[in-house]
Amino acid sequence: MGRKIKKYLRIIAALQKNNLMSMMAYKQNFVIMTMAVIIFMAMNIIFLQVIFGYIQNIAGWNFYEVLLIIGSTMIIEGLLWIFGARVGALGHLIRNGELDGLLAKPADSQFLISFWECDHEDFPRVIIGIILICYGLANLNLDLETVLANLFFYLILLINAIVITYSITLLLKTIYFWTIADYSLYNFLNAMSQISQYPTDVFVNFFVKSIFTFIIPLAFAATVPAKILARGFDWKLVVGSCTVATVFFYLSRRFWQYALKHYTSASS
């Protein structure tokens, strides 16, 4: 077990290094991409600022609490982009018939495809996310002891949230095995990340709320971790988050294996 973990950590390190090297070949593009990410983040924060210029809260969440949600989204997505480009490699690997080479390698195929490509230019997401969370926490009038206790559970839920967001992404991207959906899936993922920046408590309709909690579990993607951080431990949320993370990871793995079984290569 220990050796296996070591092997996979070495693979991640090697993939990170390769990606970084090929990215540095186009330094100019890397700089522009990094700036683009920062501009995108800034526009979202300005939107929030303007809206909160007119209102005091969204479904009971004040400005600083909403910052915790947005900050969490940025950290989760930032890490997913940095370590695996949100499974970005899958589309073109299938299209160009290059997936076969990856499948032949002596490591788990889902693992490889998930870490194959990295978008290092997304590192500002993580940094801005952490800054927003610190700024939000500092303005929430919580004492240090509460913050530290909340932070512990927050980190657990954040890991769950990363697993959930990753699993949804893989479930969607696996559709590539059957259809060339080009940029439209990216569009879909974008829509999801846009929604997960705001408190899912706005859904008062039971039916719609259930959809966003269990079918497209965006509630657990950022709102729930932020809620624990701002308002303290709630066992129902912790259990819910762990369950949804486990179920979705299992589903994404099963779907991946099912897709592989039906895969007929595009190359000869």
Partner 1 sequence: MGKYLLIVKNTIQENLVYRFSTFAVFVGETLVFVFFFYLWTSIYSSGQQIGSYSLKGIISYYLVLNFIFLTTKNNNTAWIAGEEIRRGELTNVMLKPISYLGYLLSHAIGRLLYCLAIYSLVYFFLLIALRNYIDLPNNIATILLFTALAILGFFINFFVAYLVGIMAFWLGQIIGLNFAVMSLVTFFEGGLMPLDLLPNFVTRINDFLPFKYVVFVPISVFTGRIGFSWELFLIPLGWVLFLLFLVKIIYRKGLKKYEGYGA
- 8 or 203, CB closer to partner 1? 203
Residue 61 CB-half CA count within 13 A: 26
Name the amino acid, one letter, at 71: G
Structure tokens at 253: 């793995």
Torsion angle of alpha carbons 250, 198, 62, 53, nearest 10°? 170
Q: Please, which residues have CB within 8 angstroms of residue 18's CB and are 6 or more apart in sequence?
A: none
The least distance separating partner 1 from the CB of residue 105, rounded to whole angstroms, comes to 28
The span from the CA of 253 to the CA of 259, in Å, is: 10
In Å, what is the CA distance from 138 to each residue of 65, 222, 226? 11, 19, 14
- 34 or 109, CB closer to partner 1? 34
The least distance separating partner 1 from the CB of residue 83, rounded to whole angstroms, comes to 19
By residue count, the chain amounts to 268
Strand, coil or helix: 119: coil
The least distance separating partner 1 from the CB of residue 40, rounded to whole angstroms, comes to 4
- 149 or 208, CB closer to partner 1? 208
- 150 or 173, CB closer to partner 1? 173
The least distance separating partner 1 from the CB of residue 141, rounded to whole angstroms, comes to 22
Residues β-bridged to residue 61: 58
- 1 or 50, CB closer to partner 1? 50
- 144 or 204, CB closer to partner 1? 204
Instruction: Classify residue 34 by burial, with Cβ atoms within 10 Å: 0-12, 13-18, 19+.
Output: middle
The least distance separating partner 1 from the CB of residue 131, rounded to whole angstroms, comes to 19
The least distance separating partner 1 from the CB of residue 59, rounded to whole angstroms, comes to 5
- 84 or 154, CB closer to partner 1? 84
- 40 or 233, CB closer to partner 1? 40
The least distance separating partner 1 from the CB of residue 222, rounded to whole angstroms, comes to 13
Q: Please, which residues have CB within 8 angstroms of residue 214's CB and are 6 or more apart in sequence?
A: 244
Instruction: Classify residue 101 by burial, with Cβ atoms within 10 Å: 0-12, 13-18, 19+.
Output: exposed
In Å, what is the CA distance from 244 to each residue of 87, 161, 266? 20, 9, 35
Using CB under 8 A, list all residues that contact partner 1.
26, 28-37, 39-40, 43, 46-47, 50-51, 54-59, 121, 175, 179-185, 187-192, 194-195, 198, 201-205, 208, 216
The span from the CA of 136 to the CA of 142, in Å, is: 11
The least distance separating partner 1 from the CB of residue 218, rounded to whole angstroms, comes to 9
